[in-house]
Amino acid sequence: MQIVRNRAIDVSRHEGCRPQVAEQRGDEAEPVCASVAEQVLAHTEAQELRATLRHLPGAQSEAITLAFFGQMTASEIAQRLSVPTGTVKSRIRLGLQKLREEMPAAAS
């Protein structure tokens, strides 16, 4: 679960410029863009992750998407999907196991 969360955070951070606060001077924050190579790598990884998510069963993919990209808790997902919380947790766990198997580069 942590691997997918970290990937999602990496992708969201690399989707565009983000402000960086000037540390020593009191200057206004200036946007700092990642290098082109970093942006291409992040985009490629995001595409791989999306493609792998599409290969998961629909319920697992939906639960993972809501949890990590929608930043919802298991209870909130259970309420939204009208299923028990334990079912949501199981779907996320099984989906993450399958993602781990399909994306071995993410595990390292």
2-107: which CATH number, 1.10.10.10, 1.10.3720.10, 2.40.50.140, 3.30.300.30? 1.10.10.10
Residue 40 main-chain phi, psi, to 5 deg: -65, -45
What are residue 32's DSSP bridge partners? 18
pLDDT of residue 59: 93
pLDDT of residue 20: 47
Residue with tokens 């924050």: 29
Taking the chain (108 residues) in consecutive chunks of 10 residues, what is each chunk's mean pLDDT? 73 57 49 64 78 88 89 93 95 91 63
Token pair belonging to 74: 């298991």
Tell the residue number behind the tokens 């949501």, with chain if given: 88
Residue 31 CB-density burial (10 A; 0-12 exposed, 13-18 middle, 19+ buried) = exposed
pLDDT (0 to 100) of residue 94: 94
What pLDDT is recorded for position 93? 94
Burial 65-98 (b: 16+ CB within 10 A, else e): bbbbeeebebeebbeeeeeeeeebbbbbebbbeb
Hey, where are the domains in the chain? Answer: 2-107
